[in-house]
């Protein structure tokens, strides 16, 4: 993976605005994705998280604002090939390709690096092998993707993104529909990419505790605008979360670790351990 210095943002979003028809869904959002760090975008449904990420990935056109790289280049003006060598998006859902092995699917990520005339890619094999190893998919590299579980398929698509070997990685709810084991494995890989490989990661998460566990920087959105951003401890407060989600959220901070608890009618009081009833 490419290593980038952590002294400057890999990607900066400034005053970004996005609309669907006449409805504004993202309003004046600004933040940066920095090499070696994980930035988590959180907020209730409809707050603009995924739209924001997809706009950075050029799947939506913004109405206002800019998205620039650390060298000043306008992301929206890059050629498709230049863009694909710079930024990778793992979308919420992807089809399960039939008739292809894991290695072949991971190899899709090398498309922007192949010669236009010969199709050659000198670094391709090494990049694919590295991506398979990082995502722990090498053990079934020659198996058909259609034969894998949902969690394994998600890791294969992540491996394809890693094989693309970009400095910026965007992930839209990568743990959705996965059981706990695969959620943990995906999040471990995401954290490793930032810490060990210098990648600038932007990830949309619904689980607040997951965001607290892996993020260096958190952007909390409310109605398409930034309600708060900063470290998990500064952003994930009871006041901020209760306002954004419209429900009481209790927050506990212990040794720098943040734990959240949404409070409803049936869990307003702490759970009490009860002694077993004597037979």
- 176-222: pLDDT as tens digits: 878 888 889 889 989 999 998 899 999 999 999 999 999 999 999 99
The residue-averaged pLDDT of 61-70 equals: 94
Confidence of residue 95 (pLDDT cuts 50, 70, 90): confident
Please count the other Cβ atoms lying within 10 Å of the Cβ belonging to residue 186: 23
CATH code: domain of residue 105: 3.40.50.300
- 223-261: pLDDT as tens digits: 999 999 999 999 999 999 999 999 999 999 998 889 999
Instruction: Report yes or no on 218 lying in a domain.
Output: yes
Instruction: Report yes or no on 25 lying in a domain.
Output: yes
Least confident of 79-83, 160-164, 175-179, 254-258: 175-179
59 is in which domain, residue-wise?
11-236
Least confident of 4-13, 144-153, 166-175: 4-13
The reported pLDDT for the residue numbered 181 is 86
Instruction: Report yes or no on 277 lying in a domain.
Output: no
Instruction: Report yes or no on 195 lying in a domain.
Output: yes
Instruction: Report the range out of 106-115, 200-209, 259-268 with the highest average pLDDT.
Output: 200-209
Instruction: Report yes or no on 265 lying in a domain.
Output: no
pTM: 0.87
Beta strands of the chain (E only): which ranges? 11-20, 23-33, 38-42, 64-69, 87-90, 168-172, 200-204, 217-222, 225-230, 249-254, 257-262
Instruction: Report yes or no on 1 lying in a domain.
Output: no
Mean pLDDT of the residues in the chain: 88
The reported pLDDT for the residue numbered 277 is 55
Share of the chain above pLDDT 70, in %: 90
Confidence of residue 269 (pLDDT cuts 50, 70, 90): low
Least confident of 41-45, 70-74, 80-84, 117-121: 117-121
The reported pLDDT for the residue numbered 5 is 44
* Residue with the two structure tokens 């401890």: 233
* Residue with the two structure tokens 């994980």: 38
Number of domains in the chain: 1
Asked if pLDDT for residue 92 goes beyond 90, the answer is no
Q: Helix/strand/coil (H, E, C) string of 8-49?
A: CCCEEEEEEEEEECCEEEEEEEEEEECCCCEEEEECCCCCCH
Instruction: Report yes or no on 117 lying in a domain.
Output: yes
Instruction: Report yes or no on 278 lying in a domain.
Output: no
Better-predicted residue by pLDDT, 79 or 4 = 79
């Amino acid at each position: 993976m490419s290593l980038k210095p952590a002294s400057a943002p890999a990607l900066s979003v400034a005053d970004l605005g996005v609309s669907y028809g006449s409805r504004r869904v993202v309003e004046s959002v600004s933040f940066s994705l920095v090499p070696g760090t994980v930035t988590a975008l959180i907020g209730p449904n409809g707050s603009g998280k995924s739209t924001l990420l997809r706009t950075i990935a050029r799947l939506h056109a913004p109405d206002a604002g800019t998205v620039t790289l650390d060298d000043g280049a306008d992301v929206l003006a890059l050629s498709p090939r230049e863009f694909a060598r710079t930024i990778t998006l793992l979308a919420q859902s992807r089809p399960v390709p039939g008739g292809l092995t894991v290695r072949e699917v991971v190899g899709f990520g090398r498309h922007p690096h192949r010669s236009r005339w010969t199709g050659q890619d000198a670094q391709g094999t090494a990049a694919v092998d590295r991506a398979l190893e990082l995502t722990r998919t090498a053990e079934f590299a020659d198996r058909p993707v259609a034969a894998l579980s949902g969690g394994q398929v998600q890791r294969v698509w992540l491996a394809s993104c890693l094989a693309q070997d970009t400095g910026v990685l965007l992930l839209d709810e990568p743990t959705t529909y996965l059981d706990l084991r695969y959620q943990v494995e995906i999040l471990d890989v995401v954290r490793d990419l930032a810490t060990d490989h210098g990648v600038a990661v932007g990830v949309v998460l619904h689980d607040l505790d997951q965001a607290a566990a892996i993020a260096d920087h958190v952007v909390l959105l409310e109605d398409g605008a930034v309600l708060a951003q900063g470290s998990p401890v500064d952003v994930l407060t009871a006041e901020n979360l209760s306002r954004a989600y419209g429900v009481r959220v209790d927050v506990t901070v212990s040794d720098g670790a943040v734990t959240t608890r949404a409070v409803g009618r049936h869990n307003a009081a702490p759970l009490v351990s009860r002694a077993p009833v004597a037979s």
